[in-house]
């Protein structure tokens, strides 16, 4: 059964359970399910909550801890089965289409806001297509994250005698060796499947280039998934893994980020939500920390667009609240303050083209410049590890094979490439 029918069967069970609408107080209550629970990310989401409450609505926080959102998605599915979906939920990429096809997302509620706020003109078509179902907006995009970053503590680099940020995999290994020799953790990394695959996709991009990345992780081409370039990428991944934090098994990404921030580790491969932790710790980009594209990927941008999907609700107050959240979320003020706290860049084209005006730091300015350039060059590619390239079922197949590969001391890259092809095929 493909992932589409799996979700549909799951959700059709919903009819067996009574609908349980939330009582509206104030102008209306909207429960929002998301997984922004790290210190920095919580500060970002609090900006939205505060604005919505100022507008007279009640924000019911449905935060579900767990980076990458796997736990939040499980909770969301059981809520849907119980006939009790939240008003809004963080859903991304192709999954938005799957949820919409179950009939649970509201195709009407965002119509008037999208029109009056001119969303079609504000958003790149690639982005608006992701959040529309059969031509209607069913989610509001809130920001753009770049995933292929390397975060560096320059002070630690200096102590280890490393002069420049690594620009190639060879330089990355050389830096890792020096960090190890100087007694630092070379690479802060939490060994959770989504974090393993965040590193995997960065290495695939570095070794196989944009075309190889696209064929393997977006188009799921079997020959590319099992071919010699993938074997090479897996071989490099195994080497990158030798620099990972030995205490990182099962560790949350923000706890690993803290090790770089407080000078225990030298580097972290992570999307730019990692910057939210640096910002929360009052550290300054370009001075206290450096952000560079993962070695060998500076002409590419793996994107991850956070968006809040709207579920059908009976209560008119909730619908009004959903519209308010959507309106606030794409407004200029929120786009600025949220992304500054979250580490992302705005999703609005006008703002991406004028980042200096809004006081964004060096990392965000680079991200916006690269986003626009890579959109033209073809270097802009959806992140597999962050639900933008495939369905969750296919993503799960990648996660299993990649995490087993990293953890198995005897794993063979050639065998693993074959397994990857087979696992992806059966999950499609
Ligand atoms: C991503 C999400 C980001 C961030 C990250 C870590 O999937 O898009 O906003 O929360 O997970 O949890």
Instruction: Specify the ligand 1 atom closest to the Cα of 271.
Output: 5
Question: How would residue 2 be classed by pLDDT, with cut points 50, 70 and 90?
Answer: low
Residues 309-357 pLDDT 10s = 999 999 999 999 999 999 999 999 999 999 999 999 999 999 999 999 9
Task: With a cut of 70, say whether residue 270 has pLDDT above it.
Answer: yes
Residue 403: closest CA among 287, 267, 270, 237: 237
User: CA dihedral defined by 162, 164, 167, 171, rounded to 10 degrees?
Assistant: -20
What pLDDT, on a 0 to 100 scale, did the predictor assign at position 5?
52
Ligand 1 and 243: CB distance under 6 A: no
What pLDDT, on a 0 to 100 scale, did the predictor assign at position 20?
39
Kindly report the pTM of this predicted structure: 0.94
Residues 3-39 pLDDT 10s = 545 555 555 544 443 333 444 458 999 999 999 999 9
Choosing from 386, 387, 389, 390 the residue with most ligand 1 atoms within 8 A of its CB, the one to mutate for a pocket test is: 386
Ligand 1 and 69: CB distance under 6 A: yes
Residues 114-163 pLDDT 10s = 999 999 999 999 899 999 999 999 999 999 999 999 999 999 999 999 99
Residues with Cβ within 8 Å of 11's Cβ and at least 6 positions away in sequence, in order, are 77, 80, 81, 102, 104
CA of 67 to the centre of ligand 1 (A): 6
What does pLDDT average to over the chain?
94
CB environment 331-362: b (16+ within 10 A), e (fewer): eeebbbbbbbbbbbbbbbeebbeebeebebbe
Q: Which domains does the chain have, with CATH numbers?
A: 3-144+304-371 (3.40.190.10), 149-302+383-427 (3.40.190.10)
Ligand 1 and 68: CB distance under 6 A: yes
CA of 143 to the centre of ligand 1 (A): 11
Residues 183-236 pLDDT 10s = 999 999 999 999 999 999 999 999 999 999 999 999 999 999 999 999 999 999
Residues 32-65 pLDDT 10s = 999 999 999 999 999 999 999 999 999 999 999 9
Choosing from 33, 66, 69, 392 the residue with most ligand 1 atoms within 8 A of its CB, the one to mutate for a pocket test is: 69
Q: How far is CA 330 from the centre of its chain?
A: 18
Cα–Cα dist 67/45, whole Å: 15
User: CA dihedral defined by 173, 178, 182, 184, rounded to 10 degrees?
Assistant: -30
C-beta separation of 76 from 99 below 8 A: no
CA of 346 to the centre of ligand 1 (A): 15
Ligand 1 and 306: CB distance under 6 A: yes
Query: Which residue's CA is the closest to the ligand 1 atom numbered 5?
Result: 68
């Amino acid at each position: 059964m493909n992932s589409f029918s799996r979700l549909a069967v799951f959700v059709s069970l919903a009819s067996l359970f009574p609908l349980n609408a939330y009582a509206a107080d104030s102008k209306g209550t909207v429960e929002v399910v998301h997984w922004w629970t790290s210190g920095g990310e919580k500060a970002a989401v609090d900006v939205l909550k505060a604005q919505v409450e100022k507008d007279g609505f009640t924000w019911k926080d449905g935060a579900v801890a767990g980076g990458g959102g796997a736990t939040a998605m499980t909770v969301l599915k059981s809520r849907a089965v119980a006939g009790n979906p939240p008003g809004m939920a963080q859903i991304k990429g192709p999954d938005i289409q799957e949820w919409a096809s179950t009939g649970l997302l509201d195709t009407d509620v965002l119509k008037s806001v999208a029109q009056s706020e001119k969303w079609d003109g504000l958003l790149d078509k690639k982005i608006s297509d992701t959040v529309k179902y059969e031509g209607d907006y069913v989610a509001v995009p809130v920001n753009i994250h770049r995933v292929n970053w390397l975060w560096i503590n320059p002070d630690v680099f200096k102590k280890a005698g490393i002069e420049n940020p690594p620009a190639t995999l060879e330089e990355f290994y050389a830096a890792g060796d020096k960090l190890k020799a100087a007694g630092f953790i070379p690479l802060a990394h939490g060994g959770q499947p989504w974090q393993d695959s965040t590193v995997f996709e960065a290495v695939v991009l570095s070794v196989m280039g944009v075309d190889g990345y696209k064929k393997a992780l977006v188009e799921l081409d079997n020959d590319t998934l099992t071919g010699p370039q993938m074997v090479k990428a897996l071989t490099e991944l195994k080497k990158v893994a030798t620099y990972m934090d030995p205490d990182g098994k099962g560790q949350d990404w923000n706890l690993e980020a803290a090790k770089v921030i407080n000078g225990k580790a030298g580097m972290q491969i992570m999307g730019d939500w990692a910057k939210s932790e640096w910002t929360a710790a009052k550290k300054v980009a370009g001075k206290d920390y450096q952000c560079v594209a993962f070695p060998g990927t500076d002409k590419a941008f793996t994107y991850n667009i956070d968006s809040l999907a709207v579920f059908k609700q009976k209560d008119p107050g909730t619908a009004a609240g959903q519209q308010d959240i959507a309106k606030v979320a794409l407004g200029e003020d929120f786009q600025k303050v949220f992304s500054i706290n979250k580490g992302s860049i705005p999703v609005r084209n006008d703002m991406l083209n004028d980042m200096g005006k809004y006081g964004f730091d060096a990392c965000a300015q680079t991200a916006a410049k690269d986003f626009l350039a890579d959109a033209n060059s073809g270097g802009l590619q959806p992140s597999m590890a962050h639900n933008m390239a495939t369905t969750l079922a296919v993503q799960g197949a990648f996660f299993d094979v990649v995490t087993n590969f990293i953890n198995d001391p005897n794993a063979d890259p050639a065998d693993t490439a074959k397994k990857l092809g087979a696992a992806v095929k059966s999950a499609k």
